[in-house]
Amino acid sequence: MKTPMTTPRVAGTALDLDKVLGNPATRIIVCCGSGGVGKTTTAAALAVRAAEAGRSVVVLTIDPARRLAQSMGLSSLDNTPRSVSGVDGSAGGELHAMMLDMKRTFDEVVLAHATPERAAAILENPFYQSLSSSFSGTQEYMAMEKLGQLRAEDRWDLIVVDTPPSRSALDFLDAPQRLGSFLDGRFIRLLMGSARSGGRAYLKVLGAGLGAVTGLLTKILGAQVLKDVQTFVAALDTMFGGFRERADTTYRLLQAPGTAFVVVATPERDALREASYFVERLGEEGMPLAGLVLNRVHSGGAKSLSVERALAGAETLDESGGYPLAAGLLRLHAERARIHAREQQLRRRFTAAHPRVPVVDIPALAGDVHDLAGLREIGSALAGAAVQA
């Protein structure tokens, strides 16, 4: 692989997140990983910990399941940051939380960058309404937009972001570039040209064969849909430049030294595979990676008792018919030790492939976290306080 021939650090170096949180140079923390691994909880726990250590923090969640709202004891989160009560501000810190409302964010962008008449035309366009509320990629664009806005506001000294539950966690990184290449693309110019002049001028510029293309588009989409799309694109035309510029700025912001990416995974094959992919991708993009949070790790329990001995003991008891409690405990232990062994093997596989990526383990909890106390507990585990059994 691309690993240079210097002395590698010990596999699975400990990740010190308190150092990351406590460093005033850290301005943005991005939590990413596949769905269901605990990104939102991790982001919230980091935010609470940083705020209670004296930093002024805002946490942005993009998850539609309102899980952050639940875990922070808030009944609703809207598109503006709300102060989270119950956070200990004695160190001088504070915490705000917000949930991304992608439609509203999109509307705000339109209203801020278009003339009132044009904005009204855009907001009413059926194509826009569908794009702004139901397109699966809009979330990624709007997350970047909101992150850029929060950073530009410069009201908080730390922004913690929870990334969208994308089909691939990487969509978050690709969104600005995709938008950029689309806006630069000939297709959009063709659409805009057609809207302005019936397309003929642009067809000449772009060459032969395009008459067939427009004809085909009309045939597939129907004249009415094509007209809606064209009106929409033409109306957005004026604000596109600024849109892309800000997406580019945010992308560069993510590469800046003040940003720390935290990859979250559970000790499961799929989640760790996604995490590996993400770690490699962040490296390629020159994005600063803080490390891996390995969430919901099961400890092995009674260490000195092996799976085999526990099961053999349980069988002996089954045969004699005595001590059902001890037999149950031995089986319980065997199951737990097996899960522990499998998780440790997956963890080793990850650290062997990525020896330079620091890792911190968060122990599996019986229940879910839905209050600040729970978030604090996760926070201290994130800071490495968890004693491994």
Min dist CB 295 to other proteins, Å, is 10
Size of the site for other proteins (CB under 8 A): 83
Which CB sits closer to other proteins, 24 or 367? 367
The stretch among 12-20, 111-119, 181-189, 373-381 that binds other proteins (CB under 8 A) is 181-189
The binder of other proteins chosen from 83, 136, 197, 238 (CB under 8 A): 136
Residue 204 as a binder of other proteins (CB under 8 A): the answer is no
Find the binding residues for other proteins in span 12-41 (CB under 8 A).
Answer: 34-37
308 forms part of the interface with other proteins (CB under 8 A):
no
**In terms of CB distance, is 50 or 310 closer to other proteins?**
310
Return d(Cα 119, Cα 11) in angstroms, integer: 54
Rule CB under 8 A: say whether 197 interacts with other proteins: no
Residue 187 interacts with other proteins (CB under 8 A)? Answer: yes
Cα–Cα distance list, 66 to 40, 73, 132, 143, 263 (Å): 10, 11, 19, 15, 21
103 binds other proteins (CB under 8 A): no
- Angle, helices 223-255 vs 116-124, to 10°: value is 110
Contact indicator for 175, 137 with CB cutoff of 8 Å: yes
Which among 145-153, 176-184, 284-292, 348-356 is the span making contact with other proteins, rule CB under 8 A?
176-184
From 111, 206, 353, 386, residue interacting with other proteins (rule: CB under 8 A):
206
Cβ closest to other proteins, residue 75 vs residue 90: 75
Among 8, 112, 135, 197, binds other proteins (CB under 8 A): 135
Write out the binding residues for other proteins, residues 216-275 only, by CB under 8 A.
216-217, 219-222, 224-225, 228, 266, 268-271, 273
Q: Whose Cβ is closer to other proteins: residue 70's or residue 79's? A: 70
Among residues 30, 235, 263, 327, the one that binds other proteins under rule CB under 8 A: 327
Closest approach of other proteins to the CB of residue 314, in Å: 7
Residue 157 lies near other proteins (rule: CB under 8 A) = no
Amino acid at 138: T
* 64 in contact with other proteins (CB under 8 A): yes
Whichever of 28 and 234 has its CB closer to other proteins, that residue is 234
Among 59, 84, 173, 310, binds other proteins (CB under 8 A): 310
